[in-house]
Structure 1
Amino acid sequence: MEFQLSVSAPDGGHRFEVWVEPEGMYYELPETAQLVLSFRGPDAMRAEFTHRPDKVIIWRPADTEVWASVAGGAAEQIAGWHHIPAPGLDSDGGQLSMPGRELIERMFHPADPPPSHTGRPWWRTLLRSRRR
């Protein structure tokens, strides 16, 4: 089964990103004027979406290939490679101690990033060195 999703943005529009997880591939719009994603696999229609103010995150189903093409370009596979299975998702992928989606959301797509009292981005605050 194949399912296609087309995303476009006008020039000068609000800047946002379209992510495909768990592989972490993303495209910035409107720099990329039009993006077509093709999901190929037995459960292709089970793709899920998460929205954040500056991005849309697309969670591909297990054992599903994702192909992308931009305006005027050829399609290329960006996720769901059979020889590189995603741990905790694909049939041949290894097990994880926690759900992969939860881990990825917590690390890369937090719904409410911790506040920064230093004026630095929240992730820099988390990575700052500890003084002794």
Structure 2
Amino acid sequence: MELQEDLIVDIKVSQVGFFGTSGKMLLPSQAAVATLIAKIPERQIITTDLLRKKLAEQFEVQGTCPVTMKKALRAIAHDATQNVPYWRVIKQNGELMAYYPGGTQEQAALLSKEGFEIDMERKTPRVKNFKSNLIRF
């Protein structure tokens, strides 16, 4: 079940290594993730890391839970009633997301329609020169 509201919790001692600090962590709702993704214009993309950082910044916490965000992102992508450009979210190394509808092939097609070049030679397809198209909020 997806979170209906955003939750802020303490970063556990076991998570300090991942976040690099103690403090508070956001468990983002699907709505919070969708709202931020909806702001990404055509021909721009964002990585999962940058998306988590932006959410943490908005909620004034030290981090965003990667597991909860991935669940929200997956739900958004698979909800045909939402008009959210989920395909503009890629992995931090430029790779495409296999868990989106249609897998990496469909995400590659959607990004190609927006003018992105996709490197299909790798095991997991990747956006070429993706750093030059990252959104700057």
TM-score, length-scaled by structure 2: 0.25
Bigger RCO (CA 8 Å, 6+ sep): 2
Larger Rg: 1
Normalized per residue, the structure richer in strand is 1
TM-score by length of 1: 0.26
More helix by share: 2
